[in-house]
Structure 1
């Protein structure tokens, strides 16, 4: 068995780099650790962290192909974020015109959760911890 220590990062390719950069930093609150212009690839790479932990690499590429993400397709299904208060988190999303789905209750844990999408329709989840 591998001796994994945790998840190092999640890579996301954005169709509109600036729009996604604003979404992940200004709406979701990720901190920019570094931003690199990879001129030879016509690409940017943005390293983002949350609560001091490196989490997301956000990339731009010229004309990336679309990947189906809904309703249920093979591959990464969604990315979930822990929150203390889901109602407060939803209010913040709504202030930025991000429309989450109605709150659901996890029948196994009794915890509240909801889904919303990033600018490229990547499914994201808020899960009340």
Structure 2
């Protein structure tokens, strides 16, 4: 839709804020930008920076310990993070002790992908866009149509 330029943020509920922040800040390297607290002083929301205009919001107080790891569960499906060099990123994460649930492979769209889970069981896709991918071909067609 015209006027929408990117995904601004993904919101994740967590039962253990410390574990989630350790993973997203310590392991993934996304710095904490700011916190918004309840009147009691307890954190309500923690913002992490992915880029200058893309963020991850972490909300403590989830009702369950883990999300369903089923690929067809209702609700949040996955977070996709674009990478320049999939093998290098996967290697770095493995070096930090992260288990890769699906090793790098070619996806149905022509891009390379790998998958991991955060401490709450949320699925994270790492995707390296290839020049001949279906997405880039589709964008080229839309641009030719003036869209």
TM-score norm. by structure 1 comes to: 0.83
Alignment: residue pair count: 127
Distance 2:69 2:40 in 1: 29
SS of match in other structure, 2:97: coil
Question: Which ranges in structure 2 are unaligned for 5 or more consecutive residues?
Answer: 130-147
Which stretch of structure 1 is more off in the superposition, 81-90 or 63-72? Answer: 63-72
Distance 1:14 1:75 in 2: 14
RMSD, aligned CA: 2.2
Question: Which ranges in structure 1 are unaligned for 5 or more consecutive residues?
Answer: none
Instruction: Please name the residue that 2:143 is paired with.
Output: none
Instruction: Please name the residue that 1:94 is paired with.
Output: 94
The C-alpha deviation readout for 1:74-93, integer Å capped at 9, x for no partner, is 23311110111111111111
Distance 2:97 2:82 in 1: 21
Instruction: Please name the residue that 1:84 is paired with.
Output: 84
Contact 1:47 1:54 in 2 (8 A): no
Instruction: Please name the residue that 1:29 is paired with.
Output: 29
Instruction: Please name the residue that 2:108 is paired with.
Output: 107
Q: CA deviation at 1:29?
A: 1.4
Poorly superposed stretches of 4+, deviation over 3 Å: 1-6, 39-44
Instruction: Please name the residue that 2:135 is paired with.
Output: none
Contact 2:68 2:121 in 1 (8 A): no
Instruction: Please name the residue that 1:64 is paired with.
Output: 63
Q: CA deviation at 1:35?
A: 1.7
Cα gap change, 1:88 to 1:2, in 2 (>3 Å): closer
TM-score norm. by structure 2 comes to: 0.74
